[in-house]
Amino acid sequence: MSTPQSEDDLIQSLFAPLTLGASGSFGLHDDVAFLSNRGAGIIVTQDQIIEGTHFLPDDPLDMIARRLVRRNLSDIIAKGAIPTAAFLSLAWPRGRPRSTMAEFVLGLGDDLNKLCAKCPLMGGDTSLTDGHLVASMTMIGRPCATSGQPVLRSGAKAGDVLAITGVIGDAYLGLQARLGLISPTSLEACIRFSAAPSPPRVEMAELIGRFARASLDVSDGLILDASRLGKASGVGISLDIGAIPLSDEAAAFVAQADEVPRLLLLATGGEDYQPLMAIGENDFGEFQSLSQQIGVRVTQVGRCLVGEGVTLTYQNRPIPMPPHTGWQI
Amino acid sequence: MSTPQSEDDLIQSLFAPLTLGASGSFGLHDDVAFLSNRGAGIIVTQDQIIEGTHFLPDDPLDMIARRLVRRNLSDIIAKGAIPTAAFLSLAWPRGRPRSTMAEFVLGLGDDLNKLCAKCPLMGGDTSLTDGHLVASMTMIGRPCATSGQPVLRSGAKAGDVLAITGVIGDAYLGLQARLGLISPTSLEACIRFSAAPSPPRVEMAELIGRFARASLDVSDGLILDASRLGKASGVGISLDIGAIPLSDEAAAFVAQADEVPRLLLLATGGEDYQPLMAIGENDFGEFQSLSQQIGVRVTQVGRCLVGEGVTLTYQNRPIPMPPHTGWQI
């Protein structure tokens, strides 16, 4: 899905002028907007899933709905916020029996209830289409930080620890297995995860709001998203691909062949839905420990540097940047 | 697009349980949600347009974007609110040249700027699709009423005047002409209107917020939407189809044949994007006069009654209800 004009360029050239300079739009440089209302504030994010682009036509409908919720939830948590309301636009293919819409709603409701800590569906729009299934969700969140502000892509400082929750690469491996591009043997957990990747539990938002100077969710690929955080913050990024946290399945996949090319596949595969966070060096120990107490694994994968751009290392040796760093549009 | 299970039934059976009883969702019985934040409040609406369902594949891209903005703006104005932020999800067909996306954005920006009184685009999501063009907009608004609350479908009282802005039926006639189902001769203005129907100017929101006890925008058909207002308010509705305000083109169309069947076509065609409002009888004169001062025509089309259901009249004679009262899904 790589294109001549990148998604970021497209957004900046076409859509950013339409913000009319509204400060809470962050010039469309961030993942959410901030709407202030007499001092109190909310954040808003919007993500869609499209049949054939973001999911396979025969994916179970409840998993498609879960994927939609989690794409949005991932942005909200990464900004240090708790989801408070969701809205759904659903373009439902005439060819899909109406009765199966209940399966979609089952996954939707279950994720909004459990993963999103009882986030209500507050409205939306359902229409029939002769085309593909398309679903767009708008999710609203309340920032946890005492400032009332979301954690942005900008704000990281040289010297900050770059850390990630959970593991990276399972969504990529699971999708490759489902597409028949690699053997599915011993990748059952990755296949399940890839159908509807999950961000960390919502309680993580409070710790991100308290500790992270900058944060975004890794959805397009770890390397590309790390470069976005660095660019927005005006810092360079050093990423140790040997430090990337992996599941046992992903670790076995990496060990089967040349490690570096396989690690680069995982670091550019995307759909991980894990917050990538810049944490002050002196805070990192406490942040990691408190995260562990709520059951969330946090791993240092790099560091913010004076300068710009991303440099990759593996076992203290520099690694050339791969041509594909993540997904754009 | 009529279906065995109505849109309203579908929403209530499948989606309403997901509101978890949140009061601002109005049980998905209204057109917007109300989000309260430390006393201040905003309303949120979400509407989509789908190629082949809501517009024709060869419609000009700027008009498609305008239609999307106006669908949402229409809901915001009808609730007595001013738009303050918009979000766009765009599923863009790979087969449409990327360069033409600028045409879409041109219409989008122009309408957000002018019709929506400088409403900023604050975020969204653009992805490519192998299927149809689908665009969903979330629009946020600030209620004008001193209560800070939106004007709901509920709230009308028996005796209230039922009034509508602008004219009804031009969108229907224009679409029929564009589809080649009726002769386009002398329907040029309707054809232009149908490509992107327009709600009244945004200043009308203040008057609606001040005067209307209940209001909704007529998008699915005047009779169907009137029945929704009556049902939500617990009143009956008497609608005088001879009083429906018509453009010169629509009046000529009605005069060409049996008047009643043609008036019923216009009263069920939908896409009018005009607020249908219940106004206290003693307030109606002032409301109409103030509307006229800002250039908006307001016409009484009926009255709220003790009871339930919609009764139609023409020249003081009852008219049977047509089998099709408006569009559902």
Tokens at B164, concatenated: 């509508």
Q: Establish how many alpha carbons lie within 13 A of residue A39's alpha carbon, considering only the half-sphere containing its beta carbon.
A: 3
pLDDT, tens digit, for every residue of B253-302?
999 999 999 999 999 999 999 999 999 999 999 999 999 999 999 999 99
Chain B CB contacts of A130 under 8 Å are: 52-53, 132
Size of interface A-B (CB pairs under 8 A): 221
pLDDT, tens digit, for every residue of B111-145?
999 999 999 999 999 999 999 999 999 999 999 99
Predicted structure pTM score: 0.94
Chain A CB contacts of B15 under 8 Å are: 88, 105, 121, 124, 126
- The H or E element that residue B244 is part of is none
Residue of B nearest to A113 (CA): B18
**A165 beta partners:** A298
With beta carbons less than 8 A apart as the criterion, state whether B50 and B173 touch: no
Q: CA-to-CA distance for A244 and A263, rounded, in angstroms?
A: 8
State the residue for tokens 């049977």: B320
What was the ipTM of the complex prediction?
0.93
Q: CA-to-CA distance for A107 and A62, rounded, in angstroms?
A: 4
Please, where are the H alpha helices in A242-300? 248-255, 259-268, 284-293
Is residue B224 classed exposed, middle or buried when 0-12, 13-18 and 19+ CB atoms within 10 A define those classes? buried
pLDDT, tens digit, for every residue of A179-228?
899 988 889 999 988 888 899 999 999 999 999 999 999 999 999 999 99
What are the residues whose beta carbons fall under 8 Å from the beta carbon of B241, sequence distance 6 or more? B260, B263, B264, B267, B312, B313, B314, B319
Chain B CB contacts of A129 under 8 Å are: 50, 52-53, 132, 134
CB-based contact A7 B126, cutoff 8 Å: yes
The sign of the CA dihedral B120, B125, B127, B133 is negative
pLDDT, tens digit, for every residue of A163-188?
999 999 999 999 999 889 998 888 99
CB-based contact B140 A35, cutoff 8 Å: yes
Give the pLDDT band of residue B3 (cuts 50, 70, 90): very low
CB-based contact A42 B37, cutoff 8 Å: yes
Q: CA-to-CA distance for B243 and B43, rounded, in angstroms?
A: 32
Chain B CB contacts of A5 under 8 Å are: 98
Rounded (to 5) percent helix, strand, coil in chain B: 35, 25, 35
DSSP B164-190: EES-SSHHHHHHHHHTTSS--TT-HHH
Nearest Cβ partner of A48 from B47, B89, B109? B89
pLDDT of residue A329: 55
Q: CA-to-CA distance for B61 and B104, rounded, in angstroms?
A: 5
pLDDT of residue B2: 40
